[in-house]
Amino acid sequence: MENRLGSLVFLPPATGRKWQGHVQTQSPAMFYSNPPWHTLVPTAADALAAAIADEGVIVSALLSDLSSKDEPSHFHGEPNAESNAEIGAETNAETRRRIVPYRAERYGISPQDFDGASVIDFRLTVPRDSDGRYAYSPSQIARWESTPPDKPLGGGSWIPAASFPPDVSSLQTLSIKIQQLKVLSPSAMVLVSLFPHRLETELPQILTQKPDGILLRLSDEELTPLRIAKYIQQARKLIDDSAVQSTGKSTDQTTPLWIETSGMTPTDAVKLTHFGATGVSIDPWCNDLFQYVSETLELGMYHPPKSPQMRSVAESRIPAIVQHMLSPYLDEFRGYAESLTGLPPDARIATTDPTWSKTLNVPLL
């Protein structure tokens, strides 16, 4: 994976600058936005979600993504109490942070999804699949809706994705839905997610509806790295200006701005936080896990997918895979993010490219 933001460089502390103690701020949130859970059997998907969450990542998953009628989800806090008591195990479900992907069509969602959720991703976005469709695949729908094999939803074909929640009349009435979601999950942070293409017109309208934060989806491969950084900068300014207008004064409390990108390295992701992002998706670092987990569980194993043996094998092997493949990315991200906290904002990032310097207003080396 190559650095896409190579034109931006981290600045070291100035020569002769005295060390000063500073308040240690929390690292930007890391979240897994669009995991392809349907490509794994539920038992393996559940174990993988738990292992990723145990690394400090906030994971997006519905109960239907990770479970079936005969297979409860440990990630959602539904372990077998008797088996846990027998082996003296303790579940980490209470410390694992989880995102509820609230899609317009509400496929696969259940009331249990809101119990203990950390974040609700209220999606005002239409997903495009790898073939360019704005649709969900038959395998995704089959996982969410658990339809009989001989009676698949939509006849087993691709299901078009909705462009806006059917129970919301317009952006001006979005606050009603936001409040409904808060009632369902009082402790969760409600983020409204949108694409950046109409940022100047759509984001101000959304901000008047008082979401807890914004999730900006910048994973379109046609977006250049410079354009992505500029969108983040613009979004942060719109968010901060809205806060000033609503309160009449500036505030030190930063409204969350999470970003979903594609193909970004850990250092790229840290550079984007400089422009106002407070959370970054780590999908590019996680997606290879699915093929590796699938291949690992197939080697030398003949247990049925729904058997207790399959659960045991998945839970014993997958955490080591995640730690080996994902931890280096996470450690690099956290290390670079921490290195910036002791530096003034104007002494953290510079560029060697005049165009980048002018567009983003960063120092030119």
Q: Which residue has the higher pLDDT, 165 or 365?
A: 365
Round the CA-based radius of gyration of the chain to a whole number and report it. Answer: 22
Region(s) of the chain under CATH 3.20.20.70: 28-130+166-345
Q: Is 50 exceeded by the pLDDT of residue 205? A: yes
Q: What is the largest CA-CA distance in the chain?
A: 73
Which tens digit of pLDDT belongs to each residue from 112-138? 999 999 999 999 988 787 788 888 988
CATH of the domain spanning 28-130+166-345 = 3.20.20.70
| Mean pLDDT for the stretch of residues 83-98 | 57
State the Cα–Cα distance between residues 57 and 35, nearest whole angstrom: 12
Which tens digit of pLDDT belongs to each residue from 291-325? 999 888 775 455 555 566 677 878 889 999 999 99
Both tokens of 250, joined, read: 């500036």
Which tens digit of pLDDT belongs to each residue from 244-265? 887 766 666 689 999 999 999 9
CA-based angle 351:355:359, to the nearest 5? 90
| Mean pLDDT for the stretch of residues 50-56 | 97
